[in-house]
Amino acid sequence: MNEAIKISSLKKSYGTHLVLNGLDICVRQGEVFALLGVNGAGKTTLLECIEGLRKYDSGNIAIIGKVGIQLQSASLPGHMKALEAVKLFAKWNKVALDNTMLGALGILDFSQKQYYQLSTGQKRRLHLALALMRNPDILFLDEPTAGLDVEGRVSLHEQIRQLKEAGKTIILTSHDMAEVENLCDRMAILSGGRISFIGTIKQLNETVGKHYTITIQTESGTGKYASDNIGETLLALLTEYREKGETILDIQIDRGSLEQHFMKIAKGE
């Protein structure tokens, strides 16, 4: 698969605080790529360096294709109407208004509302429409579903899937691990200014281990056991219980969640 973005040895500091310490990342064309990290890990700084909104100290960023950026809320004047924003962006980017795209995102339903009157979901959709205005190859989404209700979240996830199907490369930041698991092909976890992990969710699970928790309930009580090798541990436990002559009433097996794996890497636990 061809590269859409290639970042090498990227460094950025604020004063004496080194935020990005020699990052190397490659994003492939057509994939949905997540940038993860705890607050202050440097996600937004990295995203803004790639987007060209922030200058970096050293390193190289190569971007192949047209870029569209969905900014977070509060990035338009409060009294600007949705349609006025769309028209302004169309004029800036020298493109015609795409009523099909505006209709699909539901912008026409609130086109005469001023920005401050829009709900969080409407603002997100408007920003997505503005980002799509010049038909970009690469789309940056900064916490696209933050503050949205369930309906808004589901709707936006569907739109992101459709954009992926249309061949767009999407880079997003998120704090929602379920969202990352559902939408993203690969992810990078930032920690201490470096990339602690880069790969698929399957690779993440393999990297940090399976971390199963086995709960066995018997007549005499409940026992909890942690394991990275479910087959061997379960077999050994069943043998042990049989030798003791205890009757097993229930067995529950929990797999470590993506959140736990993320925390383990992001916080170096």
Q: What residues make contact with another protein under the rule CB under 8 A?
A: 48, 51-53, 55, 69, 71-72, 74-80, 84, 87-89, 91-94, 114
Residues 101 and 258: their CA atoms lie apart, in Å, by: 34
Type of residue at 145 = T
Residues 67 and 56: their CA atoms lie apart, in Å, by: 18
Residue 163 CB, shortest distance to another protein, in Å, is 18
C-beta closer to another protein: residue 170 or 265? 170
Bridging pattern class, strands 32-36 and 17-28: unpaired
Long-range contacts of 161-165 (CB under 8 A, 24+ apart): 163/132, 163/139, 164/30, 164/31, 164/32
C-beta closer to another protein: residue 40 or 77? 77
Residue 198 CB, shortest distance to another protein, in Å, is 25
Contact (Cβ atoms closer than 8 angstroms) between residue 183 and residue 160: yes
Residue 53 CB, shortest distance to another protein, in Å, is 5
Structure tokens at 233: 């541990």
C-beta closer to another protein: residue 79 or 242? 79
Helix and strand element counts for the chain (H, E): 9, 12
C-beta closer to another protein: residue 52 or 209? 52
Residue 87 CB, shortest distance to another protein, in Å, is 7
Residue 256 CB, shortest distance to another protein, in Å, is 37
C-beta closer to another protein: residue 78 or 103? 78
